[in-house]
Amino acid sequence: MSIRREGRELALQALYSKDLDLQEGGVALKRIAESFAEGEEPTLEIHSKAYEFASELVHGVMANLAAIDAVIAEKSKHWSMSRMARVDLNIMRLAVFELMFRPDIPKNVTLNEAIEVAKKFGSEDSPAFVNGILDEVASGIQDKE
């Protein structure tokens, strides 16, 4: 798994955890990273660059949450955000943050990564749902250089 994919997955878990118990995103990220570090399996170790990327994503989403949620709400026709699965919503929050605020990440990479993360963490319908809304979001964002 790539370092950035690992970071996205870690960021998703932190945002989801934050949603469940309303703690600050950075605290949730640190707690999740610590629980991985305590694992006995070597595959549970988190690469420091993945943690750094996850931290950038979590803090970026939290700092821009109102703008990100407004975009998702606008593009999710017939779906109120309160009806969305928390996993799907947080995958989209991460992707919208990347689309809007990370010019170093190409749009197609962001979309593909969101779909792959949705396949792993979401329901059977999550990849199509996430893809549909993110396609709408991405169509309104200028291509990155």
Q: What is the pLDDT along the chain (145 residues), one digit of tens a residue?
A: 789 999 999 899 888 887 777 556 566 666 666 655 444 443 445 678 888 898 899 889 999 999 999 999 999 988 899 899 999 999 999 999 999 999 999 999 999 999 999 999 999 999 999 999 999 999 988 775 5
d(CA 36, CA 4): 17
- Is the pTM above the cut of 0.95? no
Closest-CA residue to 28 (of 71, 2, 5, 61): 61
d(CA 76, CA 83): 11
Between the CA of residue 10 and those of 13, 31, 92, 112, 122, what are the distances in Å?
5, 11, 14, 17, 14
d(CA 142, CA 145): 9
Q: Which residue type sits at 42?
A: P
